[in-house]
Structure 1
Amino acid sequence: MARVQHHDHILIYCTAGGGTLTVEGETTAVSSGDIIYLPHGSTHQYQANSVDPWSLYWLHFDGHLAEAFGEHINLPLHRFAIGLQARVVRVFDGVVALRHSSHNIAEFIQGGHQVQALLSYIALLVQQRQPYAVNCFDTEHIRAMMQEHIHAKLDLDMLANEARLSKFHFSKKFKQATGESPIKFFINMKMQRACYLLDSTARPIKHIAAGLGYQDAYYFSRLFKKTIGVSPEGYRQAKQ
């Protein structure tokens, strides 16, 4: 494949074999476990190895947040080794399944959220594997714990105990790894889930709040507005 320029963003994940990637005249080898990000407008070409050809997932995406997500990934030289990640494969498979299963708007909204989650997760993997990354604890394990408790409550003591660190050192290392405090990260995760539910369901806001561990719907609405910038009601109306 060779493109002088293109109008969307491209994400490629190599899961087996190998090949080469050339961007703006510079060529690099690609092997299993490598992720490639090609921003819109970049001149590039790529091809499979003739002896051990690659197996690829690829995704074209665009939108008013696409460039910001590309910058967030911060991929060195357009290619980076993240290893074979079952979670990345699952999301690619899920997006493909949605694409072929339905033309329902809710399905496409879910697919959009899955792509956002995929890009965010890849950015985290890239950051964790940088030489300067601080990984004295398993950040992904903490994120998985937050996801498991997204319908309930977590406090700093519980998270620090899980990481076997003091609250001070846990908070410091988590922020170095993610750019946010643990509690703010957890709240943002809950609010992202709330956005998905507001987009894809007609559930009353008080039910969405309760499902995310907030029995006080007014407190949930204030927290949602502080995080997202608009009230849950305003967010839902804007999407209609």
Structure 2
Amino acid sequence: MSIPSRWPLPPDGIRFITPRVLIRRLQAQPLAQSLYVTAMGYYPRASGHAMKRRGHPDHILIYCTAGSGSLTLANETLAVNSGDILYLPRGSHHQYQASADTPWTIYWLHFDGLLADDFCAHIGSPERPINIGVQPRVIRVFDGIAELRHSSHNLAEFIQGGHQVQALLSYVALLVQQRQPYAGNNFDTENIRALMQEHIHGKLDLDTLAHEAKLSKFHFSKKFKKATGESPINYFISMKMQRACYLLDSTPRSIKHIASELGYPDTYYFSRLFKKNIGMAPETYRKAKL
């Protein structure tokens, strides 16, 4: 692992490396060996920060939350801006640095484990900046992982930290999938999801969705299912049922009122859809949440 140990840590910066003796314990621990943190840092306004590697034994995740920088891979230099995330699989040759004019603020994480390669494949091994936006949820997880530096190398805390990394990578994979449009056409799942959200209280048919994606109904349905695992209409219904769960949890509104609010004048039909999606009737769901 290459850590910029000679580069001066900026004010309010964080950097820690998991001791080798603890890594060996994590590798032997069934609850930890899937994924574990090998190093982590937070560099605010990191003027002068730069790194060059010919290869490294673990995986690296870098998240830029402000400012800018650049990443060089295979003699190609790519801009890195606020909201960009980089996933660098083990062994990759790369170079990156903060901008001289607007130095970046970044979180960085080194990790390894039996599932590290699988998560790399799940994210898609982009090895290039992908903009996911400045996500408070992602920042909170990074901040939580950073607390490991206060753990006095407690094994239980590092096990929990590894589980946080799994949750982080799963969420990053979802964000990356949502933000990447399909090559060769204008199909964009994030745009379709936004359209569905706009119509969450009413109706939306396949013709409208396909028209928005500028595709035939057949090709739109095929591409949408490949991206999400569900047909467009079933996905839209699932979004409605999740909204229904929120309303059942957070409001005293009647089931009839909620059904009507989500575009279902027939309460019995709404209840059947709800049970099919959630696994229980709306009445049962509400009582189970009390």
CA distance change for structure 1 residues 56 and 203 in 2, over 3 Å: closer, same or farther? farther
1:210 aligns with 2:256: no
1:74 aligns with 2:122: yes
2:58 aligned partner, one-letter code: E
SS of 1:74's partner is helix
Q: Identify the match of residue 166 of structure 1 among 181, 191, 216.
A: 216
Q: Identify the match of residue 199 of structure 1 among 246, 249, 272.
A: 249
1:89 aligned partner, one-letter code: Q
SS of 1:202's partner is coil
**C-alpha contact 1:209 1:217 (8 A) present in aligned 2:** yes
2:230 aligned partner, one-letter code: E
Q: Give the C-alpha shift of residue 84 in structure 1.
A: 4.7
1:26 aligned partner, one-letter code: D
| Higher alpha-carbon Rg | 2
**C-alpha contact 1:199 1:239 (8 A) present in aligned 2:** yes
Taking structure 2 as the reference length, what is the TM-score of the superposition?
Answer: 0.50
Taking structure 1 as the reference length, what is the TM-score of the superposition?
Answer: 0.60
CA distance change for structure 1 residues 27 and 19 in 2, over 3 Å: closer, same or farther? farther
Partners in 2 of 1:142 and 1:151 — Cα distance?
A: 16
**Alignment length (residue pairs):** 191
Residue matched to 2:289: 239
Q: Which has the higher helix share?
A: 1
Aligned sequence identity (%)? 47
Residue matched to 2:271: 221
Q: Gaps (5+ residues) in structure 1?
A: 37-48, 59-69, 96-115
Q: Give the C-alpha shift of residue 195 in structure 1.
A: 1.1
Q: Give the C-alpha shift of residue 15 in structure 1.
A: 10
Partners in 2 of 1:157 and 1:16 — Cα distance?
A: 48
Q: Identify the match of residue 34 of structure 1 among 81, 85, 100.
A: 85
List aligned pairs for 1:175-190, cutoff 5 A. 175-190=225-240
1:82 aligned partner, one-letter code: I
Partners in 2 of 1:238 and 1:145 — Cα distance?
A: 32
**C-alpha contact 2:60 2:108 (8 A) present in aligned 1:** no
CA distance change for structure 1 residues 200 and 179 in 2, over 3 Å: closer, same or farther? same
Residue matched to 2:135: 89
**C-alpha contact 1:35 1:79 (8 A) present in aligned 2:** yes
Partners in 1 of 2:124 and 2:172 — Cα distance?
A: 16
Q: Gaps (5+ residues) in structure 2?
A: 1-15, 63-79, 88-96, 110-117, 142-166
Residue matched to 1:55: 106
RMSD: 4.6
Partners in 2 of 1:57 and 1:206 — Cα distance?
A: 49
Map Cα deviations across residues 162-216 of structure 1 (whole Å, 9 max, x no partner): 2222211111111122221100110111111111111222211111111111111
List aligned pairs for 1:97-108, cutoff 5 A. none
Partners in 2 of 1:126 and 1:205 — Cα distance?
A: 34
